[in-house]
């Protein structure tokens, strides 16, 4: 029988996710239903369903968006070709790309303009990586693992730099970077780490939790990179861990022999899902405690296109 549930702090929404969700909500208020969203606004199925109920329509391709309609680009960012297509199709686009992802895009453009070959550390097919590759496809080589870094062949006559996806495992990324630096001693690194503060903080909070728990539950969706990384951090620390979409996904057999269970959530998971898991454990007699952790007070401005349109609407009223 589980005696206690220990909550990691920080957990849940990051500033980029907050900004992206609020962007869709305020676009719905401003323009009415429907507001289209290219891809999932953030990688969480509950968030997507909630916004669909309010009038958001999620599409995979801009061809599904009628001319003149409003479309929001997701927090993961898009390639320049997508922005061009939106202009050609004459849709009203609002770019909810996380500012920390936009920073990586800007780095890619600067390096490419200066003639660098760029190593992008990330996961193939992830929307953030697709968008970053699109910034300079002729200049970027993707590396997904330390083995890739050992094998990659790079031009000997061009300067080198690396950038990273923002939602990676800190430890795994450091391992890849060590290989790149050994093989290419002059490779340049970002002025500031590309892995976002929220990803790093949540991984660190899990590491701090591990010595005190027998099992870790991570609330998040299967396509959430940062949520998957939290499970991997636990496994690397020798603690069993499971990713759960919500409380309904908990298998009570996992709890056999566990005195203390740890709980955290990915950066795109609503806190209400964590609260439901806490209530589930309380109903079974467990004490719920929160472990102290880093305080986060980061806030990002809403997209400029949305702020301008809201100002114009207020002036017209």
Which residues are marked as active site? 128
CA–CA gap between residue 204 and residue 293 (Å, rounded): 9
CA–CA gap between residue 179 and residue 185 (Å, rounded): 10
Neighbours of 302 (CB within 10 A): 16
CA–CA gap between residue 176 and residue 145 (Å, rounded): 6
Q: Element (H or E) spanning 177, and its range? A: helix 170-183
Neighbours of 66 (CB within 10 A): 11
DSSP string, 105-171: HHHHHHHHHTT-EEEEES-TT-HHHHHHHHHSTTTEEEE-SHHHHHH----TTS-EEEEE-TTS-HH
Q: Note the helical H segments in 59-98.
A: 80-88
**Exposed / middle / buried, residue 25 (Cβ in 10 Å: 0-12, 13-18, 19+):** middle
| Contact criterion met (CB below 8 Å) for 6 and 262 | yes
CA–CA gap between residue 281 and residue 284 (Å, rounded): 5
């Amino acid at each position: 029988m589980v005696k206690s549930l220990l909550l990691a702090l920080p957990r849940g929404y990051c500033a980029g996710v907050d900004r992206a969700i609020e962007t869709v909500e305020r676009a719905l208020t401003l323009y009415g239903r429907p507001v289209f969203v290219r891809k999932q606004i953030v990688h969480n199925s509950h968030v997507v369903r909630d916004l669909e109920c309010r009038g958001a329509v999620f599409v995979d391709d801009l061809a599904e968006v009628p001319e003149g309609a409003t479309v929001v680009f997701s927090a993961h960012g898009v390639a320049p070709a997508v922005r061009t297509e939106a202009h050609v199709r004459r849709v009203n686009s609002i770019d909810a790309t996380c500012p920390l992802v936009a920073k990586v895009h800007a780095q890619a453009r600067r390096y490419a303009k200066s003639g660098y070959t760029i190593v992008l550390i990330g996961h193939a097919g992830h929307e953030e990586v697709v968008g970053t590759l699109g910034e300079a496809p002729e200049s970027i080589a993707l590396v997904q693992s330390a083995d890739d870094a050992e094998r990659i062949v790079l031009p000997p006559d061009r300067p080198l730099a690396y950038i990273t996806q923002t939602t990676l495992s800190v430890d795994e990324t450091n391992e890849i970077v060590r290989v790149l630096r050994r093989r290419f001693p002059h490779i340049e690194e970002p002025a500031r780490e590309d892995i976002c503060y929220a990803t790093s903080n949540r991984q660190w909070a899990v590491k701090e939790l591990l010595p005190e728990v027998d099992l870790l539950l991570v609330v998040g969706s299967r396509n959430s990179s940062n949520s998957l990384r939290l499970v991997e951090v636990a496994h690397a620390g020798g603690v069993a861990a499971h990713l759960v979409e919500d409380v309904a996904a908990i298998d009570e057999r996992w709890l056999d022999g566990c005195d203390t269970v740890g709980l955290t959530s990915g950066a795109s998971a609503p806190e209400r899902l964590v609260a439901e898991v806490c209530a589930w454990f309380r109903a079974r007699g467990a004490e719920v405690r929160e472990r102290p952790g880093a305080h986060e007070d980061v806030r990002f401005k809403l997209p400029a296109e949305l702020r301008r349109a809201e100002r114009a609407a207020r002036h017209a009223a």
